[in-house]
Amino acid sequence: MNTTSEDTIWIRLMPATFVLLWSTGFIGAKFGLPYAEPFTLLFYRMLLSLLCLGLLALAISARWPASWRQAGHLAVTGLLVHGAYLGGVFTAIEAGMPAGLTALVVGLQPLLTGVLTVLVLKEPVSGRVWLGLLLGLVGVILVLGEKLAPESGGLFDGFPLWAVLAAVAALFGIAMGTLYQKRFCGATDLVSGAFIQYCAAAVLFGALSFTIETREVQWTPQLMFALAWLVLVLSLGAIGLLLALIRRGASAQVASLFYLVTPVTALEAWLLFDERLGLLALVGTAVAVSGVYLVITPGRRRQPA
């Protein structure tokens, strides 16, 4: 098999690999948060990620931004994609908001990105793409429908309103960060760019941990495993794939992949923790997959008569 064929296969596998890796983020947070406060945990995550990325940048002689302006754009992306998104998700879960409900709020990202794509980037979004985005949203709601049913008495119960606001902040952070990355940071080196983004996020999380948290950490094997997973699999693997996908694809197409995260997370929970995956969740998974298929595959063009 020649190099071109191998590259083509890897490019085709990138979306599925990204969804698989990204879906483990909620599980990593759930494992780590009992032993460290959210911003403290994220601060250590950023520091370890910076160590790994710094060594990698030296090893491959990564190309650094040519101007402070470009570095500033990368820092803004880091504050949105890592600071707002991760900070919002971890804060919401730590406050007692169910991971499924948090995923549902953040799962609105593709639809929000589609709207912002039209308003901000002026990218054309076809009717096929809008239909796919809406189907993906319906699929996500169906997957979580059993857990979020109002008659269960558990909806919005047991956590404060500001947890919901934190999840909404995460939603806007990842949506706006995706668009900002595509518009201003498309030509930057992925490794050096991610390093600068993590630097900005580390400053934010460090400031928050030193001002509003106790910074007490219980260094248990479970926490160390969760931290290693969050750094190696999420911060390096999944984020690197996300940035590469943003560079290669349209914003709405990349964002639509997030619809698959919730069904995949539900499947992982069933396999790992024996959580029941009901008929409604299975139907929702099929609907979400159908929606993403509409978004990421081009429609057939009419042949001239």
Q: pLDDT of 22-52, one tens digit each?
A: 778 777 887 888 999 999 999 999 999 999 9
Beta strand spans in the chain (E): none
Q: Give the pLDDT of residue 71.
A: 93
Q: What's the CA gap between 96 and 33, in Å, rounded?
A: 11
Mean pLDDT of 249-272: 66
Number of residues in the chain? 305
Tokens 């060594």 label which residue? 55
Q: What's the CA gap between 251 and 260, in Å, rounded?
A: 16
Extract the tokens encoding 156: 């919005």
- Judge contact between 257 and 15, C-beta under 8 A: yes
Tokens 């190309």 label which residue? 63
Helix (H, G, I), strand (E, B) or coil at 100: helix
Residues of the chain with pLDDT > 70: what percent?
72
Return phi, psi of residue 217, to 5°: -130, 135
Mean pLDDT of 248-264: 66
Extract the tokens encoding 207: 């400031």
Q: Give the pLDDT of residue 303.
A: 42
Q: Give the pLDDT of residue 256.
A: 66
* Cα angle 196-221-48, degrees, rounded to a multiple of 5: 10
Q: Is the pLDDT of residue 95 over 90?
A: no
Q: Is the pLDDT of residue 300 over 60?
A: no
Q: What's the CA gap between 292 and 110, in Å, rounded?
A: 10
Q: Give the pLDDT of residue 1.
A: 45
Q: What is the largest CA-CA distance in the chain?
A: 71
Extract the tokens encoding 294: 């509409």
Q: Give the pLDDT of residue 225.
A: 93
C-alpha 154, offset from chain centre: 26
Between the ranges 54-58, 81-85, 181-185, 200-204, where is the mean pLDDT highest? Answer: 200-204
Q: First vs last Cα of the chain: how many Å apart?
A: 40
Handedness of CA 72, 76, 77, 83 (dihedral sign): positive
Q: Is the pLDDT of residue 185 over 90?
A: no
Helix, strand and coil percent figures for the chain, each rounded to 5: 80, 0, 20
